[in-house]
Amino acid sequence: MVLPASISLQRAGSSATGGMTAPPPGNLSNLKESHPIQAADFAIQLGVALEPGFNWWVFCVFKKRDAIISLVKCCNIRFLKTTHKYNLPLPKLFDNALAIDKGSGSTLWADAIDKKIKNSELHYMLWMMAGMSQMDSSLSHAT
């Protein structure tokens, strides 16, 4: 939905006075796709949220935002509450993992952490080498 330039500029105000500035005409549809929450806030601030072109998506965007935020909070709380799985303690921090290993007399958590670090280092090195080869190829094409 493209907001006519006359409407957007009349309602928006100028940036020199500290008011809102309207996006250039024709870019509002792109703005809705890339930044839906900010575009919905902008439509509410302009007072056009209840117009037919905006009414169908502005409030839907806020419902989706609230649903995502509540799911993130719920999952975070569930993660923090989970202390055991299959009657085994789950560490939340590196120090907790080492304390569990010390208490059980094994090195399972330390071995798992070392394995994860080695895999991460390998992936990082491969990523860096791939980036270097792409840079080398772009330099060779430039000459």
Domain boundary among 81, 98, 127: 81
**DSSP reduced 3-state for 25:** coil
Instruction: In the chain, count H helices and then E strands.
Output: 6, 2
| pLDDT score of 60 more than 60 | yes
Q: Residue 24 has what pLDDT?
A: 59
Query: Within this chain, do residues 97 and 140 fall inside the same structural domain, yes or no?
Result: yes
Least confident interval from 11-20, 33-42, 50-59: 11-20
Query: Within this chain, do residues 73 and 110 fall inside the same structural domain, yes or no?
Result: no
Query: Within this chain, do residues 59 and 106 fall inside the same structural domain, yes or no?
Result: no
Q: How many domains does the chain fold into?
A: 2
CA 58 – CA 36 distance, rounded (Å)? 8
Query: Within this chain, do residues 72 and 11 fall inside the same structural domain, yes or no?
Result: yes
Query: Within this chain, do residues 6 and 64 fall inside the same structural domain, yes or no?
Result: yes
**DSSP reduced 3-state for 89:** strand
Query: Within this chain, do residues 35 and 53 fall inside the same structural domain, yes or no?
Result: yes
Q: Residue 102 has what pLDDT?
A: 92
Q: Residue 32 has what pLDDT?
A: 80
Query: Within this chain, do residues 73 and 98 fall inside the same structural domain, yes or no?
Result: no
Please state, in angstroms and as integers, the Cα–Cα distance from residue 125 to each residue in 51, 118, 122, following that order: 53, 11, 5
- Banded model confidence at residue 35, pLDDT cuts 50, 70, 90: confident
**Residue-wise pLDDT tens digits, 66-117:** 988 888 887 777 666 777 778 888 888 888 888 999 998 999 889 998 898 8
Query: Within this chain, do residues 61 and 101 fall inside the same structural domain, yes or no?
Result: no
Nearest 5°: phi and psi at 84?
A: -135, 150
Task: Give the angle subtended at the CA of 99 by the CAs of 96 and 100, to the nearest 5°.
Answer: 90
Query: Within this chain, do residues 19 and 58 fall inside the same structural domain, yes or no?
Result: yes
Query: Within this chain, do residues 40 and 110 fall inside the same structural domain, yes or no?
Result: no
Q: Residue 25 has what pLDDT?
A: 57
Domain that holds residue 89: 85-143
Domain boundary among 81, 103, 134: 81
| pLDDT score of 136 more than 70 | no
Q: Residue 119: which residues within 8 A CB-CB, separation 6 or more?
A: none
